[in-house]
Structure 1
């Protein structure tokens, strides 16, 4: 039962942690967010006021995702052994590399 619960927790958490951020500041993420705002501004013909409001909404959502990521990591660190945490970090790293490769952001090794 505990093993199943742990597996489920990791399976549900993994996409959140991979999507939130890699643990540091990612300049590619900033560029992506800037492009997203500019694309929406152009396609939706946002006013300057709307653009500012959309940016604020996206920033708020990002901050919430970051907080959730940190909370999840904190909870997992209380449940998993140091070896399991290290393995989880390796899995997240592999997932990020796979995602970057899929998105064409970096060349495969």
Structure 2
């Protein structure tokens, strides 16, 4: 039972930790990989080489997060019942839709 709770808690917390990492938002930073590099380039006066290196760092980190997410989902499937997994997938879908709506509103786009 404790293992179930831990895995569910990790799966629910993962999106929150990912959202916490984009960095400080001071109006001109939107959180996209390219925007993030450009924001840092402007604030830190990065060279072209540094910008390319940071793009690579962010791309590698994104791939690692995606792999961890997939591994977590696979491990959860071994713990949860099919009904629980269906509910969990619906929770993820709803959370993603909320995130998309907030993200689109934050960029001045309509949610349509």
TM-score by length of 2: 0.72
Secondary structure of the residue aligned to 2:89 is helix
Match in the other structure for 2:34: 34
Match in the other structure for 2:64: 64
State the alpha-carbon separation in 2 of the partners of residues 12 and 88 from structure 1.
13
Task: Give the Å deviation of 1:8.
Answer: 3.4
Task: Give the Å deviation of 1:83.
Answer: 1.3
Give CA deviations for 1:29-58 in whole Å, capped at 9, x if unaligned. Answer: xx8211111111111111011001111111
Match in the other structure for 2:83: 83
Q: Please tell me whether the aligned partners of residues 40 and 46 of structure 2 are also in contact (alpha carbons under 8 angstroms).
A: yes
Match in the other structure for 2:95: 95
Instruction: Point out where structure 2 has 5 or more consecutive residues left out of the alignment.
Output: 20-30
Secondary structure of the residue aligned to 2:32 is helix
Instruction: Point out where structure 1 has 5 or more consecutive residues left out of the alignment.
Output: 21-30
Match in the other structure for 2:12: 14
Structure with higher RCO (Cα < 8 A, 6+ apart): 1
